[in-house]
Amino acid sequence: MANLKEVKNRIGSIKSTQQITKAMKMVAAAKLRRAQDSIVQMRPYAQKLGDILQNLTSGAQEEGQSDFSQIRKEENVLLIAISSDKGLCGAFNNNVFKKIKVLLEGKYQQQYQAGNVTVLPIGKKALEFFGKRNFKINTDYGYLLSGLSYEKVDEAGSFIMESFLKGNFDKVEIVYNEFKNVATQFLRVDQFLPILPKERKQEHTNDAGIDYIYQPSKEEIVTSMIPKSLKIQLYSAILESNAAENGARMTAMDKATDNAGELLKELKLTYNRTRQAAITKEILEIVGGAEALGG
């Protein structure tokens, strides 16, 4: 059995850890409120713009106007992995990493074995994970989440779209966590490029058959609107991931605080038992000594 000093020191250490986890939970809750407000405001705009984009792309594809909807043989693939900058958020980051591995071992196995799969990590954790392993990566936007802004995402989106148009990549997919609520995040794999035709995403929208009036011209609108919509889609995915990260961290810190409380109960019980055993031992020694002197 551990002595009283060891148990007391451990109790003090657990109390300090519990205070830290409580503080981190409160910080995550405050950040979550801001992140949740941002994504709630962004979702309707991003979804409606995406629906309009699908209609525009469907028409443009028929007329041969959209380069972003050209479906090519999938020889070179880009996977965008959105993680967090910090840890202590449960399985949030590992879920993204595991999904990337599943894609490489299954869907894109041939491309991966040929060295034609590039991972673009967004977030320090993804940058560290894929950088330390045998992956072909692009490190230009690993620190994009530091001081996140639409301008930074705009730059990343422009790079991805230009690479697709140049033929550097034939397909681009985004792997990220979508925010549902504090305790629930959904892992998503969304196709970024080429843009899926309208009929292949029909179940997600009610805008089928809408006939738009174009002013000044359909070609000009398609040319300017598609890049903007794609950047909004990327920005929305990053905001979703940011909200999901804070939700996951809040849940993880809440569980850590509860676990620390349970451990404290056990340690206090051990401390009392150890203290009682020590007192009993001292009493027996005193009694034994008195009896020896009396004898």
Please state which of the ranges 33-47, 127-141, 258-272 shows the lowest mean pLDDT: 33-47
pLDDT of residue 236 exceeding 90, the answer is: yes
Predicted local distance difference test score (pLDDT) of residue 200:
46
Output b/e per residue, 79-105; b: 16+ Cβ within 10 A. bbbbbbbeeebbebbebbbebbeebbe
203 band by pLDDT with thresholds 50, 70 and 90: very low
61 band by pLDDT with thresholds 50, 70 and 90: low
Which tokens sit at 221? 């609108």
56 band by pLDDT with thresholds 50, 70 and 90: low
Mean pLDDT along residues 218-240: 85
Nearest Cα neighbor of 181 from 6, 29, 50, 13 is 29
* Residue 89 appears among annotated catalytic residues: yes
Q: Check residues 211 and 237 and name the one with the higher pLDDT.
A: 237
Torsion of CA 235, 240, 241, 245, to 10 degrees: 140
Distance CA 143, CA 205 (A): 34
Mean pLDDT along residues 96-117: 95
pLDDT of residue 48 exceeding 90, the answer is: no
Catalytic residue among 39, 89, 103, 175: 89
Mean pLDDT along residues 120-145: 94
Structural contact between residues 96 and 178, judged by C-beta atoms closer than 8 angstroms: no
What is the rounded end-to-end Cα distance, in angstroms, of the chain?
34
pLDDT tens track for 164-195: 999 999 999 999 999 988 888 999 999 999 98
pTM for the structure as a whole: 0.83
Mean pLDDT along residues 76-82: 97
Structural contact between residues 35 and 243, judged by C-beta atoms closer than 8 angstroms: yes
Predicted local distance difference test score (pLDDT) of residue 289:
80
62 band by pLDDT with thresholds 50, 70 and 90: low
202 band by pLDDT with thresholds 50, 70 and 90: very low
Distance CA 295, CA 273 (A): 33
Predicted local distance difference test score (pLDDT) of residue 1:
52
Mean pLDDT along residues 52-75: 71
Predicted local distance difference test score (pLDDT) of residue 205:
45
Distance CA 211, CA 258 (A): 56
Structural contact between residues 32 and 239, judged by C-beta atoms closer than 8 angstroms: no
